[in-house]
Amino acid sequence: MRPILETIPLADALSLMLSEARPIERIERVALDSAAGRVLATAPVAPEDVPPFDRAAMDGYAVRAEDTFAATRQAPRTLRCLEAIYTGQSATRSVGPGQCIEIATGAPMPDGADAVIIVEETDRHADDVDLFTPVYPRQNVGRRGADIAAGQVVLQAGDVLTPARVGALAACGTADVEVYAKPRVAILSTGNEIIEPGQPLGPAQIYDINRYTLGAIVSAHGGEPIVLPTAADSLDDLSRAIDRGLEYDMLLFSGGSSVGDRDLILDAIARRGEIIFHGVAVKPGKPTALGRIAGKPVVGMPGYPTSCLSNGYILIAPMLRRLARLPPYRPAIARVPLARRVVSTTGRHQFYTVRIENGTAVPAFKASGDITSMALADGYIEIPAHVDIVEAGQLVDVFLF
């Protein structure tokens, strides 16, 4: 058996993982309907002004502002209304002195008019309209190109398409858009004991958990999980799995990175490429390895479900987001007092799960083999390697799942 002789600090592991995650270069074109959350690959240039014409910004009457300057509630000005235009229509007349045109929000301004007086400040008698207030030129007018000017670079390459940015592309008439491809991540659970849910358990067998939890992490952080068939613990099987995995942008193995004779994933990586580190000073999650094969990052995750998933949050998510060109994750945080003292004397950075109960953080961690350490928790706190004790009542930041 091969013990892990040395671990590297969590921060160093993260930094090495980030430097192995080269942002994806592959580009694809997607319909605007499904572009939200994607990362823009090219900076779109507006082909036309938005809005494409001067338009009424309020419902009311399009007027020549100078005709309104003397208007008061006591002494209204009266204009003759020529016609009414609604959105989608253009005026057939132009507005001369003493004239106005009824106009709906969004309709193009008629020639001759330079302002809109809102309907609430008017009174209509047949074709005559009394105005109770002056308006200044351009008041209540949305000017052509005020939102986006023709030729303007609307968004930048690398921008994440928020709903509003999708809207800005729609405003320019864009029906589809070039985005960076989602990194495709090969996920493989290794181990002779692992079987797929839905089948009956044999002796010494357990169900595969990690492929599901890692798949969920990959999907949540901009990647596309590709689940490879479970590989047995033999160098040849693992080597074949690596061959399949190298079609994708990153390989994520779980199990087989501990110290047993049969923990062959390290040998399999070393045979095909190189090991960058093995062993991280984090609890749980110490038996984690990073390698590189044919320029692609290969991560050996712990087999234990909580160790695997906690490293999924603190190492894989940041790595994936770099790969996917997404900004760092911003988890929701609850700052609450710790309900009970927590002792953490391992000298490792601890990922410690808690439930939020009555506004306090209650320890929820059971064991790194127990998925319920996380499934029945609301989030986690991090306890740095040099901190031995966090006292009851101390405020902690809970990163919510």
Residues 125-154 that bind a second copy (CB under 8 A): 142, 146-148, 154
Contact 185, 320 (CB under 8 A): yes
Smallest gap, in angstroms, from Cβ of residue 376 to a second copy? 8
Smallest gap, in angstroms, from Cβ of residue 45 to a second copy? 14
C-beta of 16 vs 161, nearer to a second copy: 161
Torsion of CA 265, 267, 271, 274, to 10 degrees: 80
- Per rule CB under 8 A, is residue 163 in the interface with a second copy? yes
Torsion of CA 152, 54, 106, 110, to 10 degrees: -160
Contact 323, 281 (CB under 8 A): no
- Per rule CB under 8 A, is residue 284 in the interface with a second copy? no
Contact 365, 353 (CB under 8 A): yes
Smallest gap, in angstroms, from Cβ of residue 265 to a second copy? 13
Smallest gap, in angstroms, from Cβ of residue 94 to a second copy? 15
With CB under 8 A as the contact rule, the residue among 7, 13, 51, 351 that binds a second copy is 51
C-beta of 184 vs 296, nearer to a second copy: 184
Site residues (CB under 8 A) for a second copy, limited to 224-263: 227, 233, 258-262
Nearest to 167 by CA among 44, 327, 59, 27: 44
Phi then psi dihedrals of residue 70, to 5 deg: -90, 0
With CB under 8 A as the contact rule, the residue among 11, 45, 206, 343 that binds a second copy is 206
C-beta of 167 vs 229, nearer to a second copy: 167
With CB under 8 A as the contact rule, the residue among 180, 304, 365, 399 that binds a second copy is 304
HSE toward the beta carbon, residue 385, CA cutoff 13 A: 13
Site residues (CB under 8 A) for a second copy, limited to 354-373: 366-367, 369-372
**Cis peptide preceding 284, ω within 30 of 0:** yes
Site residues (CB under 8 A) for a second copy, limited to 11-30: none
Nearest to 259 by CA among 235, 289, 228, 224: 289
Smallest gap, in angstroms, from Cβ of residue 80 to a second copy? 18
With CB under 8 A as the contact rule, the residue among 45, 201, 343, 387 that binds a second copy is 201
**Residue 23, amino acid:** P
**Burial status of residue 178 (CB atoms within 10 A of its CB: 0-12, 13-18, 19 or more):** middle
Contact 118, 103 (CB under 8 A): no
Could you tell me which stretch among 178-186, 318-326, 330-338, 382-390 binds a second copy (CB under 8 A)?
Answer: 330-338
With CB under 8 A as the contact rule, the residue among 19, 72, 94, 205 that binds a second copy is 205
- Per rule CB under 8 A, is residue 107 in the interface with a second copy? yes
